[in-house]
Structure 1
Amino acid sequence: MESERKDAVVVVGGGVIGLTTAVVLAERGRRVRVWTRDPAERTTSAVAGALWWPYAIEPAALARGWALRSLDLYEELAARPELTGVRLVEGVMGEADPDGAEAWARARVPGLRASTDAEYTGTGMWARLPLIDMSTHLPWLRERFLAAGGSIETRTVSDLSEVEAPVVVNCTGLGARALVPDPSVRPVRGQLVVVENPGIRTWLVSETSGETSYFFPQPGRLLLGGTADEDDWSLEPDPAVAEAIVRRCAALRPEIAGARVLEHRVGLRPARDAVRLERELLADGRVLVHNYGHGGAGVTVAWGCAEEAAGLVSGDVPPGG
């Protein structure tokens, strides 16, 4: 019983970072419970368009390593897309030049090339990347965690000291702002429009005139975006913003203009100047590992950060290791 107690871990937070971290810990033999205020389907992660790419995340060098490790795993999971929600999909990163891409991308992402005029009007980079359907992936993560012996409890935590476990892993995302407290964590609001897919099979990200537009084909629907409004806490969809998103995407693919709107989504990305992934020894001897502040790249780095967090739990990986 005593050794079992020492093995006990509570992961606070049930989004993609918390669930992935819990999976890695449980599959390494830890006795893990996830405490989450909301089910995975109601977390910010559920709103994500979820194209794999290191987007707006620091420190860049560490994030690149976490992302590449995650890429390894997403490529494996893409062999079972109906189960995992992960597919490898072709698309264009607008305003990007493969010749100017960083060496890590040219070395690791197969088949990077310049887009053709038919694929994109302007300079673009064609790539085949993981695109994750979060409505499938999050429940799959949850089931994988439960199958590894983990448990999930619906609990609202107002102070990390409330969590009675030898090891606590803080994966609370934007909640860390009040919970730690860490005022450097701030929201970056993203709004999406979900429409019926008019037959589009490739993704596209384009940035013109300071605005980012994208569309991601997911099973049975097309996700259109987007926005990145810093320090905006509103979870209410703005009709004018939605109209602008559809208009910008239709300028890229005219068939989008007539697509029936299915849903409006808003999510608050948990941004921070740098991801906080570190181990803290509390005064009572317990271990607290922080894993938050991933902004809009949580899905992209989830597995790499989870493995490093698990190493920090065991005390055998230095920060950034």
Structure 2
Amino acid sequence: MKIAVTGSIATDHLMHFPGKFAHQFIEDKIDKVSLSFLVDDLVLRRGGIASNICFGMAQLGLSPMLVGAVGKDFFDDYAGWLSGHGVDVESVYVSDTAHTARFVCTTDEDMCQIGSFYAGAMAESSKIDLAPVHERSGGLDLVLVSANDPAAMVRHSAQCRELGIPFAADPSQQLARLDGDGARELIEGAKFLLTNEYEKELLENKTGLTHEQILDKVQVRVTTLGKDGVEIVGRGLDRIHVPVAREINAYDPTGVGDGFRAGFFAALSWGLTARRAAEVGSLLATLVLETVGTQEYLVDPTVFIQRLGESYGPACAAEVSPHVLKSV
């Protein structure tokens, strides 16, 4: 299955605050917040939603095509890292003037986060044309339109419709920047729509569409529910609920959703059911949760299958095992 992932490519600056953000806010002074958090840890990691998803897919044996805008600094180290792990980086757009995007995020003891994102080269993503990517691949089977410059997201979903490429709409954090018309255009005709629980409600509010009306526009709706797992509904599909995978030691939630998407679409590419895909995605998300950084984990096939069995039973492990052992 030939998959292209469009979206942000960034460097993450991740910090840890040894306390709780909630204890620092004064209820009647929220409109005058002026806070600085003394952190006890700083790590610089490779990140960005599209590159995180591609890395996860490659960990499961796929060769996804990364499509996004970067600065020339991307080729100092990041490009080699991704290509060395099996990601196709030949379709990235290189800005002549801007640096690769930056994400700066602080996580507290409750796993709550405060972050800022500098777009940099990502602001030029709307210049990317998917037609040459489609041609170079010999015909894409799926495009995942993840969080990116809003104009680029809308353009890429429109191009997928024009080119007849199935696509997944994954607006994520950029729902805050999309207006109702843009959000409706982004999801129109999507094979998959992915949001978390809050984004689900925000999308319905912004578009003025009910849950049922949105299902008329997309085939499958995937909603991640945090500690409560994931829900999948769709046309002709019975509701599916998959709980989170068992964790060993949660550390940093940054990139957990990207890990889920990587595992989910990798498993679908193997021809597995939506339930099995959600189980694979949930375990890959847990590996991210247990790791500092969004691309610092490795999939050990034997351990991965063992943990699938512990979380979802022997039938799941047996069904997924041939694909993981063959692919990784």
Structure of greater relative contact order (alpha carbons < 8 Å, 6+ residues apart)? 1
The structure carrying a bigger strand percent of its residues is 1
In terms of fraction of residues, the more helix-rich structure is: 2
Is this a same-fold pair by TM over 0.5? no
TM-score under structure 1 length normalisation: 0.28
